[in-house]
Amino acid sequence: MNTDTLVSLLATDIAPVRGDAVKRYLTASLLLAYVCASIFALVGYGLRPDMAVMLVTPLFWLKLALPLSVATGAYLMLERLVRPGQAVGSKWNGIAVPILAVWLAAAIVLWEAPPDLRASLLMGKTWRTCPFNIALLSAPCLFAVLFAVRQLAPTRRSTAGAVAGLLAGALGTLAYCLHCPEMGVPFWATWYLLGMAIPTATGALLGRHVLRW
């Protein structure tokens, strides 16, 4: 059998792959992961009792904006990482900008607050449990995202695992916001980001092993 014949046989009945296949696959996995995390948050922790008031409170929507923007930035970066040969380029900015923005906002709030209130703004009432609750809610998201990435073609496994973990952590944080009573920007800038850092580190460690292909 010559080379041309072999190529023809291998190419027989090959259907073209849709150009948006990666986006569709990742998006479906993320939606499923977020729904699961939200259900776990509502069943395990409960909906905050003043949610009706929060829905018309601008600060609450700013609170949601942090994990949502981090999740968006991580998604855009991960979409590049699962394509061999694709440069990440400026996609890092989608992760860095919201984090730097909330740190800047937290610094301004602490600077302008009376000294005796700064500790309460930073620590809130739930600092001991908040990061671990976020990490727990991120677990199903991390499983779903790593499973989705494994079906694709990442070549930088640890980096892809870390970004997958950050994406999972952001989704877990978004779900946790349905329960969390904390409304201080310094609290979000510290404990929410620490909660996201746990699945990020876990994803980096797991990525080098589970994302082999």
- Give 91: exposed, middle or buried? Use CB within 10 Å, 0-12, 13-18, 19+: buried
Mean pLDDT, to the nearest integer, of 116-145?
Answer: 93
Confidence (pLDDT) at 64: 96
Q: Report the predicted TM-score, pTM, of the whole model to 2 decimal places.
A: 0.86
CA distances from 116 to 46, 50, 55 (A): 31, 27, 30
DSSP 18: P
Query: Residue 23: pLDDT above 90?
Result: no
Tokens representing 96?
A: 């860095």
Residue-averaged pLDDT of the chain: 86
**Residue found under tokens 């727990």:** 136
pLDDT of residue 2 exceeding 70, the answer is no
Tens-place pLDDT, residues 139-158: 988 988 888 888 777 778 88
In the three-class reduction of DSSP (H, G, I as helix; E, B as strand; rest coil), residue 92 is classed as: helix
- pLDDT value at position 15? 46
Domains of the chain, residue spans: 19-210
**pLDDT > 80? residue 130:** yes
pLDDT of residue 14: 46
**Three-class DSSP category at 82:** coil
The whole-number pLDDT of residue 84 equals 72
CA–CA distance, 137 with 44 (Å, rounded to integer): 10
Give the range among 13-22, 38-47, 164-173 with minimum mean pLDDT.
13-22
| Alpha carbon distances (Å) from 80 to 108, 201, 202, 207 | 34, 20, 20, 16
164-190 pLDDT, tens digit each: 999 999 999 999 999 999 999 999 999
More confident of the two residues 121 and 84: 121
Give the ranges where 45-92 is alpha helix by DSSP (H).
Answer: 51-54, 58-81
Task: Tell me the per-residue pLDDT of 52-106, one tens digit each, with 9 for 90 and over.
Answer: 999 999 999 999 999 999 999 999 998 888 877 667 777 788 899 999 999 999 9
